A and B are shown apart, each in its own frame.
Chain A
C-alpha cells in the first residue's frame, strides 16, 4: 500500500504518541493511579485558556502553539502537585482527591474559556480543537513536538526505571530504604503530563487519558513482569495508533482520535479473553486442568 505524505506524517506522530502513552500509563497503572490521567488531562484546559489570555494581553492573537502547550503543561503539573499535596490530608481517598482536582481545574478551565470567548481580538476557534484533537491536520512540526515531549517522558521513565518499579510494588519499603518517594511520584506524574501535552493536537485532552489507561490494562492479561508489561503496553499503544489512524483514512470525515481509542478498546477485549497470563479463557482452561489433575 502506498501512503501519501500527509498520512505518513500523521501515522508517525500517533505511533510515537501511542508508544509513549503506553509506557507512562503502565507505570501509572502499577502505581494504582490509572484514573489520575483523567484530571491531569482535563487540567490542561485552564492552562490553555490562561496562555491564550496572556498572549492577548501582550497584543497577540493567542494562537502561538508552544505558548499554549507550555500553559497546558504547567496547569497539568499544578494538578499533579495538588494531587500529591491532598495526599497528606487524612480521611481522603484517591477517588475523592481525583474528583476535587477534576472539579477545580476543569471547572476553572470552562470558566476561563467562557471568558476567553468574549475577547474580540482573539481567535479561539483553533484552540477548541484541543478538546477532541484533530490528528488529520497534523504537520511535521507537530510530529517533532510529539517526539521531543514523548522522548523526554520515556527518557525520564527509563532513567529511574528501577526506582519506579520498587515504588509501584512496595511504596512503604521504598520509603523505608530512603528513596525520595514524593519526588519519584511527582516525576511519574511529570512523565504522564508530558505525554498528555504531546497528545493534545492529535487526540485532544479528553481522549488522551484513554491511551494512558486502556493499553496498559490490556497488557496486564499477557504478562506478570513489570518490564514486559510496559513493553507490551507501549506496543499495544503503537498498534492501536496505526490501526486507528489507518482506518480513519478509509472514509471521509472519520475522526482519528476516537478511532485510535476504539482500536485500543478492541485490543483490550481480545486481551481480556485470550491473554496468555490472565485472560478469561486461559484461566478457565487452567482451572479445568487443575480439577482434572486432582481427581
Chain B
C-alpha cells in the first residue's frame, strides 16, 4: 500500500494524541506498580458500554462512554476494597474483578440484537477506521474527528493536572507516609489519579480498542522509566515514545506484511497487503522497551556489562 496523507495523517494524529493522553496517567500507574489496572478498566468497560446501550437504546458515543466510566470507577473501587478487606494479593484482586465483569459483558453481548454493537471493534479497536467517523467543529481548526477532539482535550487536561499537582503526585507515589505527615491528602490524590486514568482509558478504548489502550498506558511509561530518573522527564519521554511507536507501528503495518506474508503462508501469502495498525503499534512498543532494557545509558544490560568489565580490570 502506498502512503497517502489524507488517509494516514488522521490515523497518525489520533494515535499520537491518544498516546500522549494515556502516557501521563500511565507513568503514574507504572511507578505505583499498578499497570495492570488499565487492563482491568479496559475489559470492565465492555459491560458498561453494553448496559448503557441497552438502557438508552442508542449507540451515542457520550452515553456509551458514561456507561463505561461508571463501571470503570466501580471496578477500581471494587479492586481497592477487595485488597483492603481480604488478604488477596493485588494481581488476584484485579483478576477476579475484571474477568467477572468481562464475562458479564460477553453474556450481555450475546443478547444484544436491537442495538448495533460490534464486539470485534470493541475488543480490538481499529485505529485505521476510528478517525473517519463523525466529526465535530472546532473553532480556528475546522472539522475534527470526534475521538481526535476528545482525546486532544484529555491530553491537555492531563498535562495541566500533572503540571499543577506534580509535587503531590510525586510524594504520594513514592512515600505515602511522608505525604500524610506533610498534610497531603494521599487517599484523595490516589483516587483522583485513578479516576483520571479511568476517564482517559475509557475514551481511548472507544478509539483504539482494549489492547492498544493497555499497551499505550504501560509500555511507553516503562520504557521512559528505564531512560530517565526524574518524574517530569519520565512523563515527557513517555509521551514522545508513545508517538514514536504510533508512527513506526503504522509504517510497519503498511510495509512489513507484504514481505512477511509470503514467508509465512507461501504462495497464498501474496494476497496479504497490510495489517492492523493497532496490533503493529503494540508490538513496536514492546520492541522499543526491549531496546531500552538492552541499551539504556542508565542501567541497560550493555552498559552494565561494560561497567563490570572496567571494574574487573581496575
Which residues of A are at the interface with B, using a C-beta cutoff of 8 A?
A: 29, 32-38, 50, 53-54, 56-58, 89-96, 98-100, 102-104, 106-116, 118-122, 131-132, 206-207, 209-210, 213-214, 216-217, 220-221, 253-255, 257-259, 261-262, 265, 268, 272, 278, 280
Contacts and interface: CB of A to CB of B under 8 A. Distances in A.
A214 B36 contact: no
Most chain A CB inside 10 Å of its own CB: which residue of B111, B219, B278: B219
Contact of B283 (A108, A120, A257, A258): A108
Given A32-B91, A120-B268, A214-B96, A90 B215 contact: no
A95 B214 CA distance: 12
B92 A217 contact: yes
A255 B108 CA distance: 10
Contacts of A255: 106-107, 110
Contacts of B92: 29, 34-35, 213, 216-217
A282 B219 CA distance: 42
Nearest to B209: A110
Nearest to B225: A91
A109 B279 contact: yes
13 contacts: A32-B91, A34-B89, A35-B95, A100-B289, A107-B280, A114-B274, A115-B272, A206-B123, A213-B92, A213-B95, A216-B92, A255-B110, A278-B87
Interface of A is mostly: helix
Interface in B260-275: 260-261, 264-269, 271-275
Interface string B103-138: 110110011000000000001100000000000000
A261 B99 contact: yes
B34 interface: yes
Nearest to A133: B106
A33 B90 CA distance: 10
Most chain B CB inside 10 Å of its own CB: which residue of A53, A58, A109: A53
Q: Enumerate the 6 nearest inter-chain pairs by beta-carbon distance, A residue then B residue, closest first.
A: A107-B282, A111-B279, A110-B279, A57-B266, A104-B286, A210-B99
A91 B215 CA distance: 19
A116 B261 CA distance: 9
Contacts of B307: none
A91 B286 contact: no
Contacts of A132: 106
A261 B30 CA distance: 29
A56 B279 contact: no
Contacts of A107: 211-212, 215, 278-283, 285-286
Given A254-B110, A259-B107, A280 B85 contact: yes
A199 B67 CA distance: 31
